[in-house]
Amino acid sequence: MKIAVLLSGGVDSSCALLSVKERYPDAQITAYYLKIWLEDELASLGQCPWEEDLSYARGVCDVAKVPLKVVSLQREYWDKVVSYTVSELKAGRTPSPDIFCNRRIKFGAFLDRVGESFDKVASGHYGMIEEGQDGLYRLRRSPDPVKDQTYFLSHLTQEQAALALFPIGGMMKEEVRELARRWDLPTQDRKDSQGICFLGKIKYSDFVRHYMGEQEGPILEAGTNQELGRHKGTWFYTIGQRSGLGLSGGPWYVVGRDRERNAVIVAGTPAAIASAKKDFVVVNPNWIAEKPEPGSVVIKLRHGPKLIPASIAPLEEGENGEERWSVSMEESDRGLAPGQFSVFYHDEICLGGAMISEEGLSLSGV
């Protein structure tokens, strides 16, 4: 049995490696560090701790007595993830690059580049893959609701789900830390990484400024069109945002972005609550195992423990032949933004996810 283990230099993937070694003592195991830091593109913005990450990965492989290979996927990452992020920003949408990192890079470009046939590709994700009696592979939520990463895994294909192995996916974070201490891993006390995977320590706003520049425009109050302040680019803001507006007399919340007028639309608390929506449309869903029947589900609108009961139903195809579904939630949300992803669950099973469309989300009365 040949198993590839994706090693990031963090405690989760480190414990995944040791768990694989324990569970499959006769397997041929190779660890891989994927280098995705865009040195030529982003070096002027700050540092990425990839060399530090790699040193931790080497230390873990020394403990596990497993060979480590470094695979550079910088160009593939630009083509498949970063360029998507930039194009979504230019289109006025809110991108979710970490969703595509798993499908297009870790379980996509990596295998294309390495060119080897593996029985499994293991990683330190929190989630579980189960094979049903029907031969289909399904993604189950982690029992740790805070660490659960099925939101980011929702675009795996059936072929990728069949290959994926998540050794720590059924554990709580505290259990993983305990394992790392038991194995005396060099990563046992290392802090979890935060933010978007390819940015390292670079601020997301600096990344956006690097590719989008600045374009000053008005910050307008919803309903009155009164100018309350100025902004340096609509792409620096997302729906529901409160911090970073620099306005007095608040709190103020972003409730819309008007690309034609280059305006950011804000509202006070009562108007922002009134602008929240229960219903929206998603397009081009990825169903991991099979297309669900119309009916009741629970959804995640962003990574985190919160689940919202909802009902879904298919709609007619869009003008470009895109698959469309309606979503009706039991509670409203102030942060719905085109380009974000809604991820769907039935009980503990992640069915898949789809991008939120602009359809029905435009702000009226502005």
User: Mind telling me the catalytic residues?
Assistant: 101, 197
Provide the token pair at 328: 């009706």
End-to-end Cα distance, the chain = 61
Cα–Cα distance measured from residue 137 to residue 349, given in angstroms and rounded to the nearest whole number: 11
Cα–Cα distance measured from residue 14 to residue 20, given in angstroms and rounded to the nearest whole number: 10
Residue 118 near residue 3, CB atoms below 8 Å: yes
User: Which residues, at least 6 apart from 360, have a Cβ–Cβ distance to it below 8 Å?
Assistant: 277, 279, 280, 281
Torsions phi, psi for 51 (to 5 deg): -70, -40
Tell me the CA distances in angstroms from 93 to 146, 271, 349, 353, 365, one per residue in order: 26, 22, 28, 17, 21
DSSP category for residue 62: H
Instruction: Please list, residue by residue across 310-341, b when 16 or more beta carbons sit within 10 angstroms of its beta carbon and e when fewer do.
Output: bebeeeeeeeeeebbbbbebeeebbbbbbbbb
Residue 3 near residue 22, CB atoms below 8 Å: no
User: Which residues, at least 6 apart from 98, have a Cβ–Cβ distance to it below 8 Å?
Assistant: 152, 196, 197, 303
Q: Hey, how many other C-beta atoms are within 10 angstroms of the C-beta on 233? A: 18
| 157 bridge partner residues | none
Torsions phi, psi for 127 (to 5 deg): 170, 165
Residue 252 near residue 228, CB atoms below 8 Å: yes
